[in-house]
Amino acid sequence: MLAVKLNLANYEYDVHSLVKAFYPEETVKVITTETKEETAKEVLKESGSALLEIVLAEDGANITCAGNLHEWNYVDSDVRFKDGFKKFLYRVLCKETGKELPWGNLTGIRPTKIAYGMLEEGKTDGEISEFLKKAHYVSEEKSALSLDIAKRERELLADIHYEGGYSLYIGIPFCPTTCLYCSFTSYPIAGYRKLVEDYVDCVIKEMDYVAKKYAHKILDSVYIGGGTPTTLEAEQLDRLITALKEKFDFVTVKEFTVEAGRADSITREKLEVLKKHQVDRISINPQTMKQETLQIIGRRHTVEQVVDAYKLAREIGFENINMDLILGLPGELEEDVQNTIDRVVELAPDSLTVHSLAIKRASKLSQWIIEHGVKTLRNTDETMKIAAAGANQLGMNPYYLYRQKNMSGNFENVGYAKPGKYGLYNILIMEEKQTIVALGAGSISKVVLPDGRIERCDNVKDVALYIEKIDEMLDRKEKLFALEEA
């Protein structure tokens, strides 16, 4: 464990994120003046001594930061206090470890928002790239990627109704099994079959409330995710989507996506239900095309089932199919990633979402790492380039990007798509420029207010409690929506 001592509070997140990025194999604890004395002593005892002891002092317009590794000092009068601190800490960690990070000192999950905002201000490509490099130490390659995606996002969002519109998310929190890396609201369907009908009833009740409350607004996109929505039986899917299309006006809907997800949940009958209801975009997600890895991560289907499900979807007539992949899965090397990309290129999906494995405390992966070691999770610049080359071979462009805490290799998640096949909802959820109303257990609604502020409300995660408290979930939305009218 690594301990960091800090003489001011409110910087813990930035300190933890940056130190963890440089030392991914270590548990990092940050001690401040607000940390209980007993806790601080326990942390220091377990770690041996503090990796860093940082003292921050503000003197007029100047900022001085001193760390104890090599007595680094930093003064910067041209930036805000926290920005100056993050620059200092990044430089200290670079010198101490001898390495640099591809995204520099950026710790937020939406790096394209910086480039997007500067484009809106009329800044040139050169000015944006220079800012990312000087203010945040972002590499030239990542700056170019961020700028490229920001430009594409601006173009794709040009016709979105921000003030008078919204998008709709419906969460189906069931899966055939829970994957090793998963931290989403997801429950093995085998143990929840008896609750599914009641769950669908409650989601429809939420639909009814939202449809009436937002009858005056324009619906731009609809996304049914999870979990794995196709764990529902064909009849249940039909009932859910029939209610959805009866209650909401789909005339203005630019994109209707359903995550078919795992191959072991897909049948002809379910795909035909989706096609009947004019779902125009689906996901069939292998994550990897290596059978041994599928078994390790708990996906009880074969590589050939993925291929068969994909071909079946094409046969039924789906013309916009996404595939998700994860880089950095246990034991996978560059040749495994290359094999996966080769198989995907043969299938030729319309979009490809490439995730860098993120280690979540709530997932089973955390325990797996304790037993097997984090070094078995290998994501490199080379694997990222293999995936990007495969997307390029398929004629795809990068169109959205986000980052998460504790990502393998400190890289990013990138969505690639062929022209005209971009996932609109994916951009909207990342850029937070439009209200997104979310239904179902564990979902979070985000309302964008006229002044740009974002307010949220969440539904309880537990399925049984969600069913029991459905009226309370509606009350939460009522209070959230009232903020728009204030």
- The pLDDT tens digits of the residues spanning 154-209 come to 999 999 999 899 999 999 999 988 777 776 667 888 889 999 999 999 999 999 99
**Which of 259, 264, 354, 352 shows the shortest CA–CA distance to 308?**
264
Contact 363, 380 (CB under 8 A): no
Say whether both 73 and 135 belong to one domain: no
If one counts the domains in the chain, the total is 3
The CATH number that applies at residue 94 is 3.30.160
Say whether both 254 and 380 belong to one domain: yes
Say whether both 362 and 404 belong to one domain: yes
Final residue of a domain: which of 86, 116, 147?
Answer: 147
Residue 356 located in a structural domain: yes
Q: Give the count of beta carbons closer than 10 Å to the beta carbon of residue 138.
A: 25
**Which of 384, 396, 297 shows the shortest CA–CA distance to 337?**
384
Say whether both 273 and 346 belong to one domain: yes
Residue 175 located in a structural domain: yes
Q: Rounded CA gap, 413 and 359, in Å? A: 14
Alpha-carbon distance values, 424 to 62, 211, 223, 228, 394 (Å): 44, 21, 10, 20, 19
Q: Rounded CA gap, 133 and 169, in Å? A: 36
The CATH number that applies at residue 302 is 3.80.30.20
Final residue of a domain: which of 123, 147, 171?
Answer: 147
Q: Rounded CA gap, 473 and 457, in Å? A: 9
Say whether both 94 and 110 belong to one domain: no
Read off the pLDDT of each residue in 301-317 and give the average, rounded to a whole number.
97
**Which of 419, 421, 394, 446 shows the shortest CA–CA distance to 255?**
421
Residue 169 located in a structural domain: yes
Q: Residues 6 or more apart from 120 whose CB is under 8 A from it?
A: 154
Say whether both 104 and 87 belong to one domain: no
Residue 12 located in a structural domain: yes
Say whether both 278 and 420 belong to one domain: yes
Residue 475 located in a structural domain: no
Residue 435 located in a structural domain: yes
Structural domain of residue 107, as residue ranges? 100-147
Say whether both 178 and 304 belong to one domain: yes
% of the chain at pLDDT higher than 90: 62
Say whether both 77 and 220 belong to one domain: no
Say whether both 139 and 235 belong to one domain: no
Residue 362 located in a structural domain: yes
Read off the pLDDT of each residue in 435-450 and give the average, rounded to a whole number.
96
Say whether both 322 and 305 belong to one domain: yes
Contact 274, 152 (CB under 8 A): no
Tokens of 430: 């990342």
Judging by DSSP bridges, how do beta strands 62-66 and 397-402 pair with one another? unpaired
Mean pLDDT of the chain: 89
How does pLDDT run across 124-144, given as a tens digit for each residue? Answer: 999 999 999 999 999 999 999
Contact 111, 403 (CB under 8 A): yes
DSSP-assigned letter for residue 357? P
Read off the pLDDT of each residue in 421-441 and give the average, rounded to a whole number.
94
Residue 332 has pLDDT above 50, yes or no: yes
How does pLDDT run across 209-267, given as a tens digit for each residue? Answer: 999 999 999 999 999 998 899 999 999 999 999 999 999 999 999 999 999 989 999 99
Say whether both 27 and 118 belong to one domain: no
Residue 480 located in a structural domain: no
First vs last C-alpha separation in the chain: 48
